[in-house]
Amino acid sequence: MLDVAVIGAGPAGSAAAKRCAEHGLETVILEKKRLPRDKVCSGMIIGPLAQTLIKQEFGEIPGTVLSRPPQLNGYLFHTPDLDNQAGQKLDFFIPLTFRKNLDFWMTEQAGAKGVKIFQGAKVTEIIEEKHGFLIQYEKGLENLEIEAKFIIGADGGTSIVRKYLFPQLKVPYNQAYEEWHQGSMELEARYFHWFYLQKSFPGGFAVHQKDSLIILEFGGTVHVPKERIQWAKEYLTANCGFDQNQEPVYRGACAVARLAGGLVSGTFLPAKKNVLLAGEAGGFVLPITGEGIGTGLKSGLLAAESIVQAVKSDRQADGIYLDEIKPMITAFREYSLWVNKIEAAAKGSGLLLRETMAEAHEASLRMF
């Protein structure tokens, strides 16, 4: 029987598995896709929390992992259907990558510490046993199983581990949709551009450029209407040099779990017995900004440390973990107050909305 099975090879899973292995625990990562795998994500490593934890746990990000340009200089906030004035700037340092490259590098680092990596391993069922858990999974045409004393669910918004723990939980979701187009645009290339539309608020879109690609991102609502995508392309064509007739070289979409409210209210507890949820599976994605790399790393490391303490004290890990994440939940609770401020600003002028969004994003950088 293994000590720890980590489900999911994102930042939370890789950090958790690496930390467990460093403490001498026999650890495996089960990842349902083959690595490296594309993921709908901006690839921005936002803020001191993510940047510090990556450097602390994995070292300096290699140039081969970063994109071109390797960094952005901040955000520009636009409100094109309220006015067409200059965007509101928020300057700060943002390393830039594609998530498939970042996640693959982190997973390789975990493997170097002795973590076994099972790729293409789709978990289908988790069964509690007397001294641990039986985890059944599919790999190609094979049906396989392993046993582990502890499980860390770091398997994203549609987490199979969360479904096992809380089968009756009704999870609210938003959709994230992304397109990549060849070329460049007449937008400041060193900035990430947020476009907020009053008519579809909070659903807007975002644009940034890297590796000779234009990345269009949509989200903020349960579904991304085709009309909003078309409006964005027409606006960018008319104002920014985009070619709306060009076919994308990549399309991707994913469900984004909205569980931060449950964490804050205490109606959702991301742990039960010796099964712990980290990253998006545990609800650790910031409202408003959607940032999840830093909070994923932090929650993954806390999950690993909780298991280490549980082993040493012969206790179950859930109580330890729920105590460890209390400061994170407090920070989420305080930050959620910005939601009401933004909703009020969205009813006013474009300038007010841009300024408020910039202030909210700046506040997120000071959270941890």
- Is residue 127 predicted with pLDDT exceeding 80? yes
SS3 of the chain? CEEEEEECCCHHHHHHHHHHHHCCCCEEEEECCCCCCCCCCCCECCHHHHHHHHHHHHCCCCCCCEEEEEEEEEEEEECCCCCCCCCEEEEEEEEEECHHHHHHHHHHHHHHCCCEEEECEEEEEEEECCCCEEEEEEECCEEEEEEEEEEEECCCCCCHHHHHHCCCCCCCEEEEEEEEEECCCCCCCCEEEEECCHHHCCCEEEEEEECCEEEEEEEEECCCCHHHHHHHHHHHHHHHCCCCCCCCCEEEEEEEECCHHHHHHCCCCCEECCEEECHHHHCCCCCCCCCCHHHHHHHHHHHHHHHHHHHHHCCCHHHHHHHHCHHHHHHHHHHCCHHHHHHHHCCCCHHHHHHHHHHHHHHHHCCC
Whether this model's pTM surpasses 0.95? yes
**In order of start, what are the domains of the chain with their CATH numbers?**
1-43+98-171+258-336 (3.50.50.60), 47-96+173-255+346-368 (3.30.9)
**pLDDT of amino acid 18:** 98
Q: What are phi and psi of 281, to 5 degrees?
A: -60, -30
> Is the pLDDT confidence value at 142 over 80?
yes
Residue 200 has pLDDT above 90, yes or no: no
Mean pLDDT for all residues in the chain: 96
Per-residue model confidence as pLDDT tens digits over 57-93: 999 999 999 999 999 999 999 999 888 788 899 999 9
